[in-house]
Structure 1
Amino acid sequence: MPRLLILLLFLPLLSWGQESTQMSWLDNRFRVDPTVDQVSFMVKRDKESNSVVLVRPDGTKYYAWRHPDNVSWYEEQGIDIISIENPMPGPWQAVGRVTPKNKIDVLSNLRLDIDDLPSRLYQSETLKFTARLLQNDQLLTSRDFLDRVKLQVEFLEYVENPDELPEKSRPSPIILGEFADDGIGFDEYPGDGVFTIALPVDIQPGKYRARVSSRNGIFLRTFEQQVLIYPPPLTADFIQGRDQVEPHQFVVTPEMGAIVPGSLAAHIEQVDPEGKSTITQGHATGEQEGLKFTIPNIGEPGQYAWSGWLYATDLLNNRELIFGLPTKHFAIQAELQLDRNLEDFRHQQQLKAQAEEDARLAAERAQARSKAMKVIIGGNIVLIVLVVAGGFIWRKWKTKKVIAQALDEVESEGDSAEEEAKSA
């Protein structure tokens, strides 16, 4: 019996060399090695019990509601996860309802490895962003632990020396997304220690500090990086058909010199009023810079929605880009009988107005012709009058001239007779 007690006492020391240690001793003791910089205790207890009390080697007690800044404490029904930075070496103890049916997992030297964000991000792009949880440089695969790790990505507007500013003047964090190792979305496998997020960069252009931290307090450490957000290098337009027959159009226009020619592709989902989806895809070819393709016009009246994804390659650094297109709506109006009657009425009015205009123009032309005829006739009459008057005047002048000549001849003959009489 004494040998058994000695074995139980030294069992923690012998088992510390493993990556994680599971313990279920009666006194709930475990030892922290002096070389450990960070340690996490995952204590499983009775579901109806309160959080444990963690006792340091020097007797100092830590509680879920009271502990120093180098301790983070996450609690839920039946479990406590306690992470400590630079823990005091020596024997620790968890005081609580930790029965032999339950266990204490000691995870040492945990490290969170975060992908570097591209220094140049684009507004509205969606980025596949990955983090890995490592223990002694190996992926941690404890599902009990991983299922409870929640990592948060937040951006803060960049200012110099933010810690020197009053707390109210510091930039407020903008939460863009949360990691999860759940095999959903962009995460490939659940519980493999790899956390992946589809990070939506829905933020105004500018300079920011990107921060990754533990949302539920399991980790104390945060990771920061400076990034620049640029306006989107392309625009996308959905052009609705003008009637129930004409197809819709989708047009993507990149900025000059921003996108690799031929790299554009699009996936568009159209949802009709009955909830049925229609997928349309298109891609550029060769050295084509922009992208344009048609989308079927279902034609049924009602409210429609469309959304999708754009894919491109950044010309500056050859980085693949993904842009999410948020859901937008448009409507197709029903063609009512009243509308058709109104259209017919408008058509008849147009025909009537055209006929009246044609009649007015014909009347004006007839009036112009009549006026021209009057002018011509009047001119001819004046000309005839002038000719007749001229002839009359000429004849009168001619007659006077003949008479004058005759008188001159008579007078001349009279003078000759008188002279002959005088001579005789």
Structure 2
Amino acid sequence: MEINKHHCFNLPLIKASKLIVFMLTFITAFNAWAFVNSDVESKTENNKLNKTTVEYYQKDNITNQIPYFDNRFRLDADLEEITLIFYRKSGSTPIILIRPDGSKIRVNQFDHEKVQWFDDSTFDMIKIKKPMPGPWQAVGDILPNSQILVISDVKIAVEPLPDIAFSGETLKVEGKLFNGNDAIESPYFKNVVKLDVNFYSTNNSNHENFGADAIKVTSFRDDGHGLDEYANDNTFTGEFILDFAPGEWQPVYLVKLPMTTRELRQTPILLHKIPVELSVVKSEDPDKPHQLLLAIDPSHVDPNSLVFQGKLTFPDRQTKPFSIMEESGESRTTTITNTEPGIYRVNVSAFGKTISGREFRLVVPEFSFNVEENNYLLNTAGDVNADGTVTINETADELRVKAEQEREEAMLVQQQAQDAEDKETIIIIAAGNSVIILIAVVLFFTLRRKKTKSK
């Protein structure tokens, strides 16, 4: 009995302790849920404030039966103006917008005072002033997993151009597009926007480009071609070929949309002269090559870092590649085979580092020189003596007179041959005409004689 009494006495204590533990667990769980829920609501509110896209409603088992009705979105009442982009299948017809009250907006049927519509083969861009608040629908061949992009302020962010740049240099510049403060990650957007880069002269009279016209340098691309490394990675790449006059230039980036244009003006840069100058020492001996000299200006480049790749074009238009690799100092030399008189052309590309360590590549303007034929005549019109000296037998003027006489004699011989040929042709024509006349006379008298006998 005592044992039973003791057990009964402790039973309420056990139940009370369990109840206390349960309540503590419930309170802890409730606080945690409230904290998490508050944090989620806070993030949702922040996202709602910062959003630049209107996502479609989540699909459910009912609306999945009618796929077109999945393309739904909601517009708030406080919107003064909104620009929407709908990506659709290439070549498909423009979409149809259905307002919350059921009325429709079509590409060829809308209020021109409140709506602007630009349709392309792959997208529709629609600007609406004071849109009707509530749930909207978009009907059309909209691409799967697409989003309705709400255009607020499209801009491009690009890395600044280098402090030291050269005329003739090729630069690679990368940029990303932003809609407001958010990066545009849609791979379809590159079909909507066009990115151009223009350089404008600052018209500083102290520089060579004073009064120069604006120059379109390039268009950014995201197609994996040229200097763009990967297609559709939302990183746009511009290849700047600065093949214009040195001086002070301001780069201006233009973001062109069907209904608007934005521009980004960067700080003006100073484009320096090409740090390489070409010259040649002509050979007066047809058996010895010409010497090509490359002088390097060390003001902005490291001379020891420069290497050269080029092409020689001879007077007969044959070409020969050349390179200058393992040399140092402020000058380089190479030889050009002395093939014949005429114009020789040299095209060179230089690769090296600036004094700040930046790698660069540039194209040196084409260099040409002329080897006159008189030099060849002068150098080949002599006899080589036993001691190696050359005795000039005739002067250049004498050779020129002699060449003129030979040319006149050749023309005289050609004229005589032509006269003889013409005379022979006349004789043949005269002989042929005589034969024809003789035959005609014979026929005439023969026919007349036969006619007389018949009478």
Q: TM-score range by the shorter chain?
A: 0.5 to 0.7
Distance 2:366 2:240 in 1: 18
Distance 1:263 1:39 in 2: 52
Cα deviation code 1:168-226 (max 9, x no counterpart):
xx996421111112222222222222222221223444444321123564874322211
For residues 1-400 of structure 1, what are the structure 2 equivalents within 5 Å? 12-14=56-58, 25=68, 29-31=72-74, 41-44=85-88, 47=91, 49=93, 51=94, 75-76=119-120, 78-82=121-125, 91-92=135-136, 94=138, 98-99=140-141, 105-107=147-149, 112-133=156-177, 140=185, 142=187, 144-146=188-190, 149-158=193-202, 173-215=214-256, 217=258, 220-232=261-273, 234-239=275-280, 241-242=282-283, 243=286, 245-255=288-298, 257-271=299-313, 277-282=320-325, 284-285=327-328, 288=329, 290-297=330-337, 299=339, 305-315=345-355, 317-327=356-366, 339=377, 343-344=381-382, 347-349=392-394
**Which residue identity does 1:259 align to in structure 2?**
V
1:263 Cα deviation from its structure 2 partner: 2.2
Distance 1:47 1:124 in 2: 42
Structure 2 CA distance for partners of 1:300 and 1:186, relative to 1, 3 Å: farther
**Which residue identity does 1:318 align to in structure 2?**
G
**Which residue identity does 1:152 align to in structure 2?**
D
1:262 Cα deviation from its structure 2 partner: 1.5
Distance 1:118 1:85 in 2: 42
**Which residue identity does 2:332 align to in structure 1?**
K
Q: Is the contact between residue 244 and residue 300 of structure 1 (CA under 8 Å) also seen in structure 2?
A: no
Cα deviation code 1:308-329 (max 9, x no counterpart):
32233332x4333322224455
Q: Counterpart of 2:430?
A: none
Structure 2 CA distance for partners of 1:151 and 1:307, relative to 1, 3 Å: farther
Q: Is the contact between residue 84 and residue 150 of structure 2 (CA under 8 Å) also seen in structure 1?
A: yes
Distance 1:56 1:275 in 2: 71
Distance 1:323 1:340 in 2: 40
Q: Is the contact between residue 197 and residue 253 of structure 2 (CA under 8 Å) also seen in structure 1?
A: yes
Q: Is the contact between residue 267 and residue 308 of structure 1 (CA under 8 Å) also seen in structure 2?
A: yes
Structure 2 CA distance for partners of 1:231 and 1:79, relative to 1, 3 Å: same
**Which residue identity does 2:381 align to in structure 1?**
E
Structure 2 CA distance for partners of 1:329 and 1:196, relative to 1, 3 Å: farther
In structure 1, list runs of 5 or more residues that go unmatched. Answer: 1-9, 16-22, 161-169, 354-424
Cα deviation code 1:288-339 (max 9, x no counterpart):
2x13120443737776654232233332x43333222244556678899x94
**Which residue identity does 1:41 align to in structure 2?**
I
Distance 1:249 1:65 in 2: 71
The secondary structure found in structure 2 opposite 1:127 is strand
Structure 2 CA distance for partners of 1:102 and 1:193, relative to 1, 3 Å: closer
Q: Counterpart of 2:25?
A: none
Cα deviation code 1:103-159 (max 9, x no counterpart):
9643468763311123453333222211134688667362x4435643211122348
**Which residue identity does 1:44 align to in structure 2?**
R
Distance 1:35 1:314 in 2: 54
Distance 2:321 2:280 in 1: 17
1:11 Cα deviation from its structure 2 partner: 8.7
Distance 2:368 2:78 in 1: 60
Distance 2:92 2:250 in 1: 42
The Cα RMSD (Å) is 5.3
In structure 2, list runs of 5 or more residues that go unmatched. Answer: 1-53, 60-65, 205-210, 384-390, 399-455
Distance 2:119 2:281 in 1: 53
Q: Counterpart of 1:379?
A: none
Q: Is the contact between residue 307 and residue 325 of structure 1 (CA under 8 Å) also seen in structure 2?
A: yes
Distance 2:268 2:76 in 1: 39
Q: Is the contact between residue 131 and residue 194 of structure 1 (CA under 8 Å) also seen in structure 2?
A: yes
The secondary structure found in structure 1 opposite 2:200 is strand
1:84 Cα deviation from its structure 2 partner: 6.6
| Alignment length (residue pairs) | 316
1:12 Cα deviation from its structure 2 partner: 1.9
**Which residue identity does 2:255 align to in structure 1?**
S
Q: Counterpart of 1:401?
A: none
Distance 1:85 1:312 in 2: 53
1:237 Cα deviation from its structure 2 partner: 0.6
The secondary structure found in structure 2 opposite 1:293 is strand
- How much identity, in percent, do the aligned residues show? 21
Of the two structures, which has the highest relative contact order with CA contacts closer than 8 Å and spacing of 6 or more?
1
1:278 Cα deviation from its structure 2 partner: 1.5
Cα deviation code 1:251-307 (max 9, x no counterpart):
03205x43234122222133565665524233543xx2x131204437377766542
The secondary structure found in structure 2 opposite 1:131 is strand
Higher radius of gyration, 1 or 2:
1
Distance 1:342 1:296 in 2: 20
**Which residue identity does 2:273 align to in structure 1?**
P
